[in-house]
Structure 1
Amino acid sequence: MGVTVRPGLERRLRAALKGEVRFDAATRGRYATDASHYQVMPIGVVTPAGPEDVAEALRIAREEGVPVLARGGGTSQCGQTVNEALVLDCSRHMTRILSLDPDARRAVVEPGLVLDELNRALKPHGLWFPVDVSTASRATLGGMAGNNSCGSRSLRYGTMRDNTVGLEAILADGTVARFGPVDAGTDRPVPPGLVSDLLALGAREAEEILARFPQVQRRVGGYNLDALLPANRPQNLGHLLVGSEGTLAFFTAIELALSPLPPARRRLGACHFGSFHGAMASAQHIVRLGPTAVELVDSTMLELAASIPLFRPTLEAFLRGAPEALLLVEFAEEDDAENARRVAALADLMRDLGFSWEGTGTRFGGVVEVTDAKLQASITELRTAGLNIMMSMKEERKPVSFVEDAAVPLEHLADYTARLTELFEKHGTRGTWYAHAGSGCLHVRPVLNLKLEKDLRAMRAIAEEAFAMVRAYKGSHSGEHGDGIVRSEFHRMMFGDRIVSTFEAVKDRFDPAGLFNPGRIVRPPRMDDRSLLRYHDRYAASTVVPRLDWSEFATEARPTPALQFQGAVEMCNNNGACRALAGGVMCPSYRATREERDSTRGRANTLRLALSGQLGPDAFTSEAMAETMALCVGCKACKRECPTGVDMARMKIEVQAARVAARGLSLRERLIAFLPRYAPLARHARAAIAWRNRTPWLARAIERATGFAAERSLPEWSTEPFRDAEAAGGAGERVILFADTFNRWFEPTNLRGAVAVLRAAGFAPVAASAGGRPLCCGRTFLAAGLVDRAREEARRSLEALLPAVRAGLPVIGLEPSCLLTLKDEWLALGLGAAAREVAEAAMLFESFVARRGERFRAVFRPREAEALVHGHCHAKAHGVAQDIVAALRLVPGLSVSMVESSCCGMAGSFGLQVETAPVARKMAELSLLPAVRRAASDAIVVANGTSCRHQIGELAPREALSPARVLAAALGPQ
């Protein structure tokens, strides 16, 4: 792995710290990358429990001569959060709001607190922290301070530096000090000698600082020496530390200046342009209207977003034609009439500039006004996902961050972007563009393949020429994302020898022994040092042959299934969206444990390292890999919510298949896999299962034999399972009922309810079977890694369904994990075009009802009640969970609301397994169970997943009903 493990260091840390200490290869590998294209293996990883742990870890590291790297969300794009150092990850435990004064609009927070979590706590007080970075769902305040983050509304609110009052930090010698205004009183003062030296430096270098520092808002390169200028009295030493990328001190607390929440009613003008140059030339005029944000979206991003199901409805709602670029202009004044006036002025300005809907070519354009708050939020979500949308390209070449966020004065923006485009073309590539046009700071990424030597050379050449161009425009080469490895090398070009020497003097005064994040900002390596790249000289091509079809990732450079699977894994760019703690579903196990290992990113990194030979032989089937995958519940949320499309549920099937091939099946895995086969016989053992569920000693004995947790009840077979004959005959329009294993043998009332509802609306459901056996999707075999068995079941079911599908009949199912397997995994089992035909015809029962709403509405009698809905993860992943709400709202008088919840935690057998049952409970307790417990006692709790109903029934405890049962209960007289 390129790093010498220090057993003495590990032992000392374990003995001294309360937090976790890990030196294993897999953990270090997970922390070797951030959202940049670099990979540097750390010495070890510590997740400190608090400031005392940090102080102890720093003391031991200092004594052992080991450098230290502070890390938060690990989303840095320049390589500032990777180093050959001891990583201290504050994001797991150091997440508290230490104090909050709403009247003074001040908060003191620990460095590991995530921005969105802070803003959720501030919202009831009418406040927020306005540095609204696109990674707000996972960016920590410590990382934002270390990077001097900006955000889309910096036109109004400024940068992180502008909103930071002060910082408490531990210096390299162990001193704890509070850095803020130099005349502010504190019980933890900065050492007087350090203060006087810094102020003297500021006075001595004032003329050079004023001459050399770019006069643009978005300048975050180097150290903020201008904070030391005599004219800035009182000088704020905390502002010197902001943007220092963990190279000067270790932050333990940050005092923030808060702002009133923006008005709820805002207006957005989506300016369409027929040419990219026209958009760039217009930005300087648009900012004069006083917007809070002017954000760019280019045609590449629009095309990619249109291919992503999550974003397609948003584009359809506001995009007109095929523009080359959009400028999203937001107005958020307290007086909405003023917002309306400014949007009208924006439309007038666009006409004055020659852009109109009647125009053609480069003069095409105009303004689409968006006032709907939900659509505004969706557009904001699309824009903030810009980087990750760009990274969703499946080709080997990807947009690479190195001239990413240079900032130039607005009057030069159009000229700069035109020249940069010519530069890219000169080197045989193109750029992708998005972000902060109003600040003159564009996130531009040339599309390169850093596995190729010629593209590495192009990266170096583009960087040198682009930064020279920025310097000529008196801009900043680093306008938002910091320096790290990418840009530190170019400080001399941008600032000159004297300022670089001053940077080094500051570093040496704070950290003479180089304890903190060495080689960043000062004395850096070359940005194209091959040994530091993620795709380095020792990066091997995978030889792991996958069981599923990954040909969608096929390119000329990936001609084999092994390389296509590796390409799918490499889609993870470490953006960290899977570390979000609320909203959506991904990643439920990370939300429960806060362990990097349990995020989609952590798993993808481990897979990539294993496939490329960096974790040793047989790493793909190792215990470390099994531990990495253990808490993946296969929710498929990443399939929809990961902006780069990393489908970890599918990847887990590959890992499990390889592991089973190498080690065989356990008894528990066999019981799970073959459930559809033995279910007809096992129902006769119903009494035994009931006895086990009510007899603790027997449950413990079975736990020892099978691994099913004694404290969890097992599902009990029905005494009256569903028979296909119950869905035979009847007049009406024929539909195919896919009667799954779980509803057939455990909850047959649901299938009977679905049959009744379908018949009431004039449909004639027919339950399909083949060879005298019920149909099966193969889901349980896939969960156990038995891909060939799953393929057999899928092929058998496919042959039975295909004639009906070709006759135009829909295939309707109740259990999302089963029915949606037809639309997902069947397409990866190599079953040909026929599988796609069936996938297109397959839909959940509630989706079928919702899509034919008027036909069903007439059959329901009024029911005055409240229904609280929890949607199955797979339904959410396929974008059909809201169909439950739509179907239930067809019942007159029924008030329906959806719980904002992640995975229920049961996830098939996950919640029943002795080693994962505690985490399953944690998942359920995050949002689902509290919401169910808060519901009125007479409210109807609805869940469309078998496992979800089991989890709610046992842990809430409340009976949860299938949508089919609720709708059947609302049928009027027939």
Structure 2
Amino acid sequence: MTNASSLERRLRAEMTGDVLFDGFSRGRYATDASFYQIVPSGVVVPKTMDEALRALAIARDEGVKVTPRGGGTSQCGQTVNDGLVVDISKHLNRILSLDVEGRTCSVEPGIVLDDLNRQLRRHGLWFPVDVSTASRATIGGMAGNNSCGGRSLRYGTMRDNTLSMEASLADGTLSRFGEISRDLSGVDAPDSTRALFRDMLDLGTREADEIAACFPKVQRRVGGYNLDALVPRNAPNNMAHLLVGSEGTLAFTTKVELKLWPVIRNKALGVCHFGSFYEAMDAAQHLVKLKPIAVELVDRTMIALGRDIAMFKPIINAAIKGDPDAVLVVEFAEEDQADNLLRLKQLGELMGDLGFGWNNETRKWGGVVEITEPALQSGIADFRAAGLNVMMSMKQEGKPVSFVEDCAVPLPHLADYTARLGEVFAKHGTSGTMYAHASEGCLHVRPVLNLKLEKDVKAMRAIAEEAFALVREYKGSHSGEHGDGLVRSEFHETMFGERLVADFREVKHRFDPDGVLNPGKIVDAPKMDDRSLFRFKPDYRVGELKTKLDWSAYPGAGGGFQGAVEMCNNNGACRKLEGGVMCPSYRATRDEKDVTRGRANTLRLAISGQLGPDALASDEMMQTLKLCVSCKACRHECPTGVDMAKMKIEVLAARAASHGLTLRDRLVGYLPRYAGLASRFAPLANLRNRSPLLRKLLERFAGISARRELPAFRSDVFVPPAEAVGPEAGREVVLFADTFNRTYERENLEAALRVLAAGGYRVHLPKPVSGNRPLCCGRTFLSAGLVDEARSELDRLVAAFAPFAARGVPIVGLEPSCLLTLRDELASLRKDNDAKAVGAHALTFEEFLVREAEAGRLQLPLGTVAEKAVVHGHCHQKSFGAFKPVEQVLRLVPGLEVETIESSCCGMAGAFGYGADTYEASIQMAELSLLPAVRHADPNTLVVADGTSCRHQIHDGAQREALHVARVLAMSLYRADTNSTSTAAKGNKPWLTSPSTPLEKSSTPPSQSPPS
């Protein structure tokens, strides 16, 4: 603390929340979802609102500016500044009051929209300003930007739904901002606040005519300060509406009172297809006459990119037919579904009246696909909400850039405006993407530029000036949804006129005379193209990186590793708290350090030298990645495709090269090579579990938690049969006997053999081509950064499996993390045809069975084993779309009800849960949903989990034994067999009899599970 600033010392002395002044933390808060980067002097994460206000007071005393921050997803640079950042999202997120009958609630500003609506839904209510970032956008941030959402056609903007706000002025005065009369009668406020209100009302009176003449007459106007809230014609005036859209420049919000609406109960969507983009834009003005709640544009570029994203491809294929140039998704949501269906019919008739059908000239269809199935409706909504991030998934140096991105024009001009805007883009050597709110004339428009290049920065400036001139010509708004920030504030004078901008400055000075609150936004802004404020500054450089994995799919230095890191655009989808898997560590800690975005930012700063030399392999980087469980959820769920699990392998390899291996790394990484020897001396190898002293010693010297029981080695490990198992004429299949099931849970492999043989398959368990050591996928080596050792293991595996893959034999595995290594990391380590063939033929056990069943080739005599099973999906299964087959296979068992536990990572995550320094985080992750669900399950209910580490976590945390799907099916086979009146069949099929313990006892616990 001797070198700490006075600000830091005082904050640490008076805060119980996090006070972050190190370079790595400040770097993580230097960016939002814009292209700007400004490193703050420090960050504070207050635990209470009193602490937040105390931080504001200390900063004021120290002469430091303050920027409030919620989800950090602003696209115009609103939440970056060089003063103190106050992160309200972690702790200040409660509902303070709820009036169900009156349909209002009061909340702290850090509450996330989706979290608010989850709590409101049980009361039949919701807050309908449904921004696409609802899973991470905070109400305070939405109020600061005057957010709108996709359904503002019916529900209006944030301003329309904000009843009042409580806030602290820059001088510390706490006041309530709500509806007031022009004479201030009934206003209970300090004299200074009453004087402020009086001055604001006087300004509104003075400037009423100028405001009426110069403010755009479109709903989507969020630029500047809302001076129209102050004019006499709007009396009684609501002072909260002046704070809405002020981007944290006028006051520090402490409470927001919201207007609520009944939840939407019925919906119907019509996906209208158009042969040309211009036709779609021209049609929007006609479609809104049917009174939908939204009309959303999806253009050709977004459709094409979406089809390359696994989670969206089936949705697009179901909703979009042929090859349209654009579609408009029209949403009806009346209370009576019959009304929605009638409007859907009218939509089809209107499209016909407008002349849209089959066009012989363009060979394109212009009809309507009707969507009434709720799951598909949700999928379409998710795809549209991810529009920005889908666009940003381009694997190239140039990306769609936000700066003219949400201009709004009156609907009759939308087609001409977009056509002329396209001409502007072409004039400057680029093209653009367009999507979103056609019903409001507010499209998200982004030209593709590379802001590392000076010529593209100049093009951005020219495009901005010409685009805003078009907007003025059509009497639209240059800022229609995402606010002003650093991008648009500079242009207020040309949009509103010199006189109104002077009024904006007067408002700012009256509220915040010393310029403490988030200066440089709305008034007195820097040039939007000042490259010193960019994420990629003129001196931004990434040196050559010697990487271990293949990154050639990405642009940039280091064989593409730089490009992979820079795919993160800070959209914050990884901050979601429910749904999907990403990001489990953030869900447990709510710390920016522990979210995929925070890690990607840290990596970008490290490889570009902004965190000092050797930052990539530093202790601070290890702390940044410590809670990353390599679940691969980001690989599947991040809309821009950030693959942090793969990046972590690269960083661990760099760390191992520069710092060597820890004892724990060696114990985890080399497990496949010593497991056989340990099994021969199992009683001795397992001594640690029985000795408190050895537990403590291993914790001290190897970092393995004494609170965990390690997987027990067994002497009767799985030994592959000398010959293939199953009927000689059966269809061939290879069974991959991974290290964990082979060493610890041989019952799973034996069960799989029994099931496959009973299904009529000829099962091969290939032996190594050279050496006697069993085959391994290299998973444990990768987890320790030992990439060369992992490659060596995979070389042995490919040599054994390639001959089978060459003749089309499926390769089936039981442990998801091991089997899916053949579909993922193998391709990053080897590019030869043998490796490609092995990866292409690799299937999880359930994927194989489902494929065979769908082809009519699977015939299994199954019997009843239980009434119900609850299933936890392995993270890698979910990442590769391999979890649904688990549910499908279990439903083959007669009378078995299958319920999926909606869970993220189990928290064990291979060796992660065994770490002394990660044990608590491991339990936190498990307690989010998995362990409570298992504890709640009836004792007679089967608990199913394919992951070795998942089963161990369930055993440790809930004292329940979980089974692999293979064992459930084998139990079902045994029930069918023992209930059969024929014993001849059993005698003629010896492979139906387990080589060890029969599986007739469904309560037989599996062996303790190892790390995977």
Q: For this structure pair, what is the TM-score category when the shorter chain's length is used for normalisation? A: over 0.9
Does residue 679 in structure 1 map to residue 675 in structure 2?
yes
Secondary structure of 1:737's match?
strand
> Which among 2, 18, 21 is matched to residue 19 of structure 2?
21
- 2: distance between equivalents of 1:163 and 1:730? 67
- 2: distance between equivalents of 1:700 and 1:878? 38
Deviations 1:589-637 (A, max 9, x none): 0000000011100000000001111111111111111110111000000
8 Å CA contact 1:811–1:842 kept in 2: the answer is: yes
User: Structure 1's 257 and 721: CA in aligned 2 closer, same or farther, altered over 3 A?
Assistant: same
**What's the counterpart of residue 299 of structure 1?**
300
Secondary structure of 2:871's match?
strand
Per the TM alignment, residue 164 of structure 1 is displaced from its structure 2 partner at its CA by 0.6
- 1: distance between equivalents of 2:656 and 2:595? 23
Deviations 1:707-765 (A, max 9, x none): 11011111112332111117734322221110000000011100000000000000121
Secondary structure of 1:852's match?
helix
**Identity among equivalent pairs (%):** 60
Deviations 1:821-853 (A, max 9, x none): 000000001342321111110011011112222
8 Å CA contact 1:857–1:890 kept in 2: the answer is: no
Structure 2 gaps, min length 5: 978-985, 987-1012
- 1: distance between equivalents of 2:472 and 2:129? 27
Secondary structure of 2:93's match?
coil
> Which among 119, 143, 146 is matched to residue 144 of structure 2?
146
**What's the counterpart of residue 982 of structure 2?**
none
- 2: distance between equivalents of 1:505 and 1:928? 54
User: Structure 1's 512 and 6: CA in aligned 2 closer, same or farther, altered over 3 A?
Assistant: farther
Secondary structure of 1:774's match?
coil
Secondary structure of 2:163's match?
strand
**What's the counterpart of residue 561 of structure 2?**
565
8 Å CA contact 2:551–2:559 kept in 1: the answer is: no
| Further displaced range: 726-735 or 11-20 | 726-735
Amino acid at match of 1:748: R
Deviations 1:254-309 (A, max 9, x none): 1111100012x210000000000000000000001000110000000000000111
Deviations 1:856-881 (A, max 9, x none): 45421234510100010001000111
- Pairing 1:410-809 to 2, within 5 Å after superposition: 410-554=411-555, 558=556, 562=558, 564-688=560-684, 690-725=686-721, 728-731=724-727, 732-770=730-768, 771=770, 772-809=772-809
Per the TM alignment, residue 185 of structure 1 is displaced from its structure 2 partner at its CA by 5.7
8 Å CA contact 1:278–1:362 kept in 2: the answer is: no
Amino acid at match of 2:800: A
**What's the counterpart of residue 97 of structure 2?**
99
8 Å CA contact 1:34–1:75 kept in 2: the answer is: yes
**What's the counterpart of residue 212 of structure 2?**
210
User: Structure 1's 563 and 812: CA in aligned 2 closer, same or farther, altered over 3 A?
Assistant: closer
**What's the counterpart of residue 179 of structure 1?**
177
Secondary structure of 1:520's match?
coil
- 1: distance between equivalents of 2:197 and 2:919? 54
Secondary structure of 1:191's match?
helix
Secondary structure of 1:797's match?
helix
> Which among 78, 81, 85 is matched to residue 87 of structure 1?
85
**What's the counterpart of residue 72 of structure 2?**
74
Per the TM alignment, residue 937 of structure 1 is displaced from its structure 2 partner at its CA by 1.5
**What's the counterpart of residue 276 of structure 2?**
275
Per the TM alignment, residue 796 of structure 1 is displaced from its structure 2 partner at its CA by 1.1
Deviations 1:454-509 (A, max 9, x none): 10110000000000110111000000000000000000010000000000000000
Secondary structure of 1:361's match?
coil
> Which among 4, 7, 26 is matched to residue 5 of structure 2?
7
8 Å CA contact 1:178–1:186 kept in 2: the answer is: no
Amino acid at match of 1:415: D
Amino acid at match of 1:240: L
8 Å CA contact 2:322–2:365 kept in 1: the answer is: no
Amino acid at match of 1:375: L
- 2: distance between equivalents of 1:922 and 1:400? 38
Secondary structure of 1:769's match?
coil
Deviations 1:891-922 (A, max 9, x none): 11111121110000000010000000100000
**What's the counterpart of residue 914 of structure 2?**
912
- Pairing 1:48-447 to 2, within 5 Å after superposition: 48-183=46-181, 191-263=193-265, 265-357=266-358, 359-361=360-362, 364-447=365-448
Per the TM alignment, residue 166 of structure 1 is displaced from its structure 2 partner at its CA by 0.8
Per the TM alignment, residue 645 of structure 1 is displaced from its structure 2 partner at its CA by 0.5
Per the TM alignment, residue 588 of structure 1 is displaced from its structure 2 partner at its CA by 0.4
- 1: distance between equivalents of 2:830 and 2:843? 21
Secondary structure of 1:447's match?
strand
8 Å CA contact 2:550–2:559 kept in 1: the answer is: no
Amino acid at match of 2:653: A
8 Å CA contact 2:686–2:713 kept in 1: the answer is: no
8 Å CA contact 1:733–1:763 kept in 2: the answer is: yes
Per the TM alignment, residue 564 of structure 1 is displaced from its structure 2 partner at its CA by 1.1
Deviations 1:331-357 (A, max 9, x none): 000111111111111111111111103
8 Å CA contact 2:323–2:364 kept in 1: the answer is: no
- 2: distance between equivalents of 1:289 and 1:113? 35
- 1: distance between equivalents of 2:55 and 2:832? 56
- 2: distance between equivalents of 1:96 and 1:687? 53
- 2: distance between equivalents of 1:729 and 1:215? 76
Per the TM alignment, residue 806 of structure 1 is displaced from its structure 2 partner at its CA by 0.6
Does residue 818 in structure 1 map to residue 818 in structure 2?
yes
User: Structure 1's 708 and 6: CA in aligned 2 closer, same or farther, altered over 3 A?
Assistant: closer
Does residue 893 in structure 1 map to residue 891 in structure 2?
no
User: Structure 1's 889 and 187: CA in aligned 2 closer, same or farther, altered over 3 A?
Assistant: farther
- 1: distance between equivalents of 2:389 and 2:633? 16
Amino acid at match of 1:251: T
- 1: distance between equivalents of 2:852 and 2:364? 43
8 Å CA contact 1:94–1:111 kept in 2: the answer is: yes
> Which among 968, 971, 990 is matched to residue 969 of structure 1?
971
Amino acid at match of 2:951: R
User: Structure 1's 812 and 239: CA in aligned 2 closer, same or farther, altered over 3 A?
Assistant: same
Does residue 835 in structure 1 map to residue 835 in structure 2?
yes
Between Structure 1 and Structure 2, how many residues are aligned?
A: 965
| Further displaced range: 82-91 or 541-550 | 541-550
- 1: distance between equivalents of 2:139 and 2:316? 32
Per the TM alignment, residue 541 of structure 1 is displaced from its structure 2 partner at its CA by 2.0
Structure 1 gaps, min length 5: none
Secondary structure of 2:165's match?
strand
Amino acid at match of 2:688: R
Amino acid at match of 1:591: R
8 Å CA contact 2:673–2:773 kept in 1: the answer is: no
Amino acid at match of 1:681: L
8 Å CA contact 1:768–1:774 kept in 2: the answer is: no
Per the TM alignment, residue 360 of structure 1 is displaced from its structure 2 partner at its CA by 4.3
- 1: distance between equivalents of 2:723 and 2:887? 25
Secondary structure of 2:367's match?
strand
8 Å CA contact 2:277–2:299 kept in 1: the answer is: yes
Amino acid at match of 1:134: S
8 Å CA contact 1:769–1:797 kept in 2: the answer is: no
Amino acid at match of 2:753: V
Per the TM alignment, residue 691 of structure 1 is displaced from its structure 2 partner at its CA by 4.1
Secondary structure of 1:734's match?
strand
Per the TM alignment, residue 6 of structure 1 is displaced from its structure 2 partner at its CA by 6.0
